[in-house]
A = this chain, B = another copy of it.
Amino acid sequence: MTPRPDEFTLIADLFAPLAADAIGAYGLKDDAASFSPSAGMDLVLTVDALVEGVHFLPGDPADSIAQKLLRVSLSDLAAKGATPRGYLLTTAWTKDTPLDWMKSFAAGLARDQRSFDIALWGGDTVSTPGPLTFSLTAIGEVPQGRILRRGGARAGDALFLTGTVGDAALGLAAAQQKLAATDDDKAALIARYRLPEPRVSVGPQLLEIAHAALDVSDGLMADLKHLCDVSGTGARIDVSSLPLSPAADRCLAGAPSLIEQILAGGDDYEILFAAPAEKSSEIDSLAARTGVRITRIGSVLDAREGLSAVSASGEPLVLKQLGFRHF
């Protein structure tokens, strides 16, 4: 094992290259970063923390952990209609974290910075007895006063979802050896659990379309409940219309009770949004333009009608738990 360089060398070698494209990061050699917002734009800010053993498994590859950390925040920005600009990072390393692991972590960030056109602005590097703990603050911009919120859904709106639902929950089960599936399907689902695809190309274009939006991180039903609570509405999900990946579809065919995990499991990082049903053709065209599947999955109802998930035959499903909670 290579001996570990000190904190300042680590910052200079691993992290300063990630800040090279951001003028206001000053090569990570100052106390703070600066950023000149574009005229007429609001800042949108979000922060997420990942803890080893809680949000990722100790054996997960370092580069994908770093990418997940970044993508989770990019997903929040996208769901608010914001275009990502930069991020700040805190890393708490243990004395045993190998330098190669750190290098792979930084390489994952470098790859995603290129994909999402974002740069590191600053951070803090500290030591911990463990577990590894990371937090990331992402900053984006949205036209003034236009941020897309959770609380604008209206009874009569249609509910749409980007991508597919349930892959991450099934992927987590597969990574924990708790899912019966082919090796190929397991691999596909685990990949989706490890590496969400933030819908950055879709988000800013929803400003003209959606009444309300959020990203699915706690679970489809739990996040729909958040949206309805703040909007003061109810909602119904049509289970037969849920967009599933081929792998999730095969798993569900073999074990229909998995629908519970698909509806309640978190970590999909797809955008759930409410929009007038008349916007369907605009939404189809947005999907075609961005290459991101967008599916109508239900309807916003009056608050009195509550929240439900209904099967093709019209039967309501009874769910044990809505979604993930930390305690």
Contacts and interface: CB of A to CB of B under 8 A. Distances in A.
Contacts of A306: none
Nearest to A137: B137
Nearest to A33: B45
A193 interface: no
Contacts of A145: 36
A32 B139 CA distance: 9
A55 B327 contact: no
Contact of A37 (B7, B30, B32, B43): B43
Given A31-B80, A326-B7, A139 B45 contact: yes
A51 interface: yes
A122 interface: yes
Interface residues of A, number: 69
B90 A47 contact: yes
Interface stretch (A124-132, A161-169, A281-289, A295-303): A124-132
A214 interface: yes
Can you tell how many copies of this chain the complex includes?
Answer: 2
Contacts of A90: 47-49, 135
Contacts of A48: 90, 124
A45 B35 contact: yes
A51 B131 CA distance: 11
Contacts of A215: 31
Interface in A114-171: 121-129, 131, 133, 135, 137, 139-140, 142, 144-145, 147, 149-151
A133 B122 contact: no
B6 A88 contact: no
Interface in A84-107: 88-90, 92-93, 95
Interface string A59-103: 000000000000000001101101000001110110100000000
A187 interface: no
Given A31-B80, A80-B32, A129-B131, A122 B325 contact: no
A197 interface: no
A88 B95 CA distance: 28
22 contacts: A7-B327, A24-B42, A26-B149, A29-B151, A30-B151, A30-B214, A31-B79, A32-B76, A32-B80, A32-B82, A33-B44, A34-B44, A34-B147, A37-B43, A45-B122, A46-B88, A47-B137, A51-B92, A88-B137, A92-B133, A126-B326, A128-B131
A-B complex: 6 closest residue pairs judged by Cβ atoms: A32-B46, A49-B90, A137-B137, A31-B76, A7-B326, A127-B326
